[in-house]
Amino acid sequence: MFPQLGLKASSDPAQIEDRLKYHPQTFEFFTDVHNFTPAGLAELKAGIRSVQGAGIDQIVIHQPMKFGDIHSELAAPQAAFPDLYDFIERSTAILLELASEFDLQILVHGGYSGDFPRVIPFYPSLEAAQAAVLNRLDRFQELGGTHIMFENSISPIFYYGDEKEDLYIFEKGYRLAFDTSHCFIKNQGSNEKLLASMKRLKEHVVHYHLVDSMGETHDSLPLGKGKIDWEKALPLMNDDATSIYEIILKDQRDASEQVASHEYLLGLADKLRNA
């Protein structure tokens, strides 16, 4: 299936219209708290219908990244962060209802590095925080079945790139979303560790966030503008998985940088085929 054109947008009709003119094979919705109000949910459902009406049946909905001033951090304990905890539970339940109604996929982020310092003091150890997150993911997996996937972060709570951690996650049998830049950054810009992780987890990866990076900060660069070795990475991707280009855009109503990344990968694929 690779390379396939996968694009990302919010439920904003103008963004959706822009993406659909490129005829993507996969469409990912970026949601926020607004989408879990009656008006916002109605807008999201209308967007899903527009995308499906364009003949796209590979749709992923990303759970909101933030709730107020904090990320949707699964490690946040209910007692200390009751509103955040309840929002994650409620938004997951609503997304799973959408997944059933429209036969689509939902994506839950396993952690966020930005708020790690806010939640880790509530645990006796990093291992205890990881156990709490994995228990929550186990429950979400049981609820979501083949409609849910979990994405790696840069946080030490849920990440890819360490052999021991990868093998443990692999044995859990989770359906995985693999963000290339997150893995690359977490491993200090090591292509060796990124490629090894892609190979180890390949069988369970159902969706990719294809993003380049310099390997130092969360820079979300177009493919070919960072230090990821895409020529070696491309053959390690699961051909049965979907993917999107999760690039920072200058204008959210113009997917040019996402499309340029696809053109880059198409050129690389042709080079590999003709080698």
User: What are the tens digits of pLDDT across the range 134-161?
Assistant: 999 999 999 999 999 999 999 999 999 9
Cis peptide before 222 (omega within 30 of 0): no
pLDDT of 234: 96
2 pLDDT above the threshold of 90: no
* Lowest-confidence region among 1-10, 76-85, 237-246: 1-10
Q: Are 255 and 261 in contact (CB under 8 A)?
A: no
Count Cβ atoms within 10 A of the Cβ of residue 274 and give its class: 0-12 exposed, 13-18 middle, 19 or more buried: exposed
93 pLDDT above the threshold of 90: yes
Q: Residue 171 corresponds to which tokens in the numbers above?
A: 């044995």
β-bridge pairing 6-9 and 26-30: parallel
53 pLDDT above the threshold of 90: yes
Confidence (pTM) = 0.97
Distances (CA, A) of 162 to 28, 130, 156, 168, 192: 28, 14, 10, 10, 11
Digit-coded pLDDT (tens) for 175-207:
999 999 999 999 999 999 999 999 999 999 999
What span, in angstroms and rounded, lies between the C-alpha atoms of 48 and 26?
Answer: 12
**Residues whose CB is less than 8 angstroms from the CB of residue 134 and which lie 6 or more positions away in sequence, other chains included:** 158, 172
pLDDT of 15: 98
What span, in angstroms and rounded, lies between the C-alpha atoms of 10 and 204?
Answer: 27
- What 3-state class would DSSP assign to 105? strand
pLDDT of 105: 98
